[in-house]
Amino acid sequence: MNYRETLDYIHSVCWKGSRPGLSRITELLDAIGNPEKGLKVVHVAGTNGKGSFCSMLTNVLIEAGYSVGSFTSPYIEEFTERIRYNGRDITKRELSSATGFIRPFADKMEDTPTEFELITAIGFEFFRRKKVDVVVLECGMGGRLDSTNVIDDPLLSVITGIALDHTEYLGDTIEKIAGEKAGIIKPGCPVLFGGEGESAKRVIAERASELGSAFYSTDRGAIRVKNCTVNGSVFDYGRYKDVCLRLLGSYQPQNAANVIEAVKILNTRGLAITDEALRRGLAYAEWKGRFEMLSTDPLVFFDGGHNIEGTAAAVETVKLYFKNARVNVITGVMADKEYAEMARIIASVANKAFTVAPDNPRALDAKEYAEVFRSLGVEAESFENYDGAVAAALKNCAETKTPLLALGSLYAYAPFKKALRKALKLK
């Protein structure tokens, strides 16, 4: 199989959509020799912050001298981003090789795997071949029934935070969603909760107690942000003073504090991570699509805030960086999100909204989203594609001397970036 054939197979229509459950992934992994067995895993769930946490922790572990596999979703520009080794994407040849090995086993299954289950198996097989020291494994959705939840004894389970999202699958209350995320906790294996909210914390702590698992939580009150600008941030956390981050966003010191707590626990679980490796790993971590600066002149950012909590965090960052100034916003969302509330939050900082429907069957119509902004008193214009939206937004930014923020869905990242480079005549 070449790379194109590999992607065609993975994305084939024969693969069914989201079907929570562990029976298919367990059968497939058994058939290929259980590559997940023996891996040392940090298993990460949570509504928001998973990607940034995984990026930072992966970087820290690499700085500490470990070979690290990472599994994240969704991909932003290239499919190979989902499975990485020591910070580099799986090569197209490696992806094709692992997929070609797994394909005959998957095809023989009476209840065929979903696309995400197949990708999970490919990731485990790749990590086995690479003989990685540690795997940083991000859940796709939820936790209890997520296909990554086949790890019996993780070094550490991490739940970055809980918010209302994917309610049709995970439940319509914080407590129900917390219960689903807590499904990644394993008997006798520690768990770290990095979020806020006493109800979510209580659910997770109770599940840990039932399983005899040590429960830890990040003390968000101990975070002291000393400087936070478009150049990065500096913060204190307990005994860790002047910790530097390149990753932008008012929320990144919170994600970094979660990493610090995780490192403390991992050092009691057989790993050896020095303070120097921790600081270097945090300082140089990068992650696409999380208040990422894509241009300095003009000033352009992209943030994949795709739910209420993520949108609020992005808007909080705008207020922190630009004080009372407003920004132009290019935005598109999925119709199954609480887009009216997301628009209300965005409206507090928006000079003008430029709406586009992301290339996804679940996307909200751009004209409908523009009308929501107009109802909130924000000038808004809809576009059929990102080329038109970006050109119009940049023109307005030049006239009003206003920064530009693209916000609302990670599915928009690749087409937005392509349109931006075209508009700015960049290679």
For 409, other C-beta atoms within 10 Å of its C-beta total 25
Beta bridge partners of 156: 42
Contact assessment for residue 420 and residue 294, using Cβ atoms and an 8 Å cutoff: yes
- Which residues does 287 contact at the CB level (< 8 Å), separation at least 6? 51, 52, 55, 56, 247
pLDDT number for residue 197: 83
SS3 label, residue 369: helix
pLDDT tens digits along 274-294: 999 999 999 999 989 899 999
Cα gap 147→126, rounded to integer Å:
16
Tokens of 80: 């190979």
3-state secondary structure 51-120: HHHHHHHHHHHHHCCCCEEEECCCCCCCHHHHEEECCEECCHHHHHHHHHHHHHHHHHCCCCCCHHHHHH
**pLDDT interval class at 175 (50, 70, 90):** confident
CATH class in words for 292-423: alpha beta
Amino acid present at 320: L
- Which residues does 367 contact at the CB level (< 8 Å), separation at least 6? 355, 382
**Looking at residues 96-125, what average pLDDT do you find?**
96
pLDDT > 90? residue 309: no
pLDDT tens digits along 4-14: 999 999 988 44
For 110, other C-beta atoms within 10 Å of its C-beta total 6
Higher-scoring residue by pLDDT: 162, 292:
292
Identify the residue whose tokens are 């943030």. 303
Q: Is the pTM of this model over 0.95?
A: no
Cα gap 418→357, rounded to integer Å:
16
SS3 label, residue 180: helix
pLDDT tens digits along 15-45: 444 566 799 999 999 999 999 998 999 999 9
pLDDT number for residue 167: 46
Q: Hey, where are the domains in the chain?
A: 3-284, 292-423
SS3 label, residue 365: coil
**Looking at residues 246-260, what average pLDDT do you find?**
95
| % the chain with pLDDT above 70 | 96
Beta bridge partners of 71: 83, 137
- Which residues does 369 contact at the CB level (< 8 Å), separation at least 6? 331, 332, 333, 339, 343, 355, 357, 380, 382
pLDDT > 80? residue 109: yes
Contact assessment for residue 189 and residue 154, using Cβ atoms and an 8 Å cutoff: yes
Cα gap 253→72, rounded to integer Å:
21
**pLDDT interval class at 171 (50, 70, 90):** low
Cα gap 249→285, rounded to integer Å:
13
Architecture of the CATH domain 3-284? 3-Layer(aba) Sandwich (3.40)
pLDDT tens digits along 332-383: 988 888 899 999 999 999 999 999 998 888 889 999 999 999 999 999 999 9
pLDDT number for residue 230: 94
**Looking at residues 253-261, what average pLDDT do you find?**
97
Q: Do domains 3-284 and 292-423 have the same CATH topology?
A: no
Cα gap 156→347, rounded to integer Å:
39
Nearest to 157 by CA among 113, 85, 207: 207
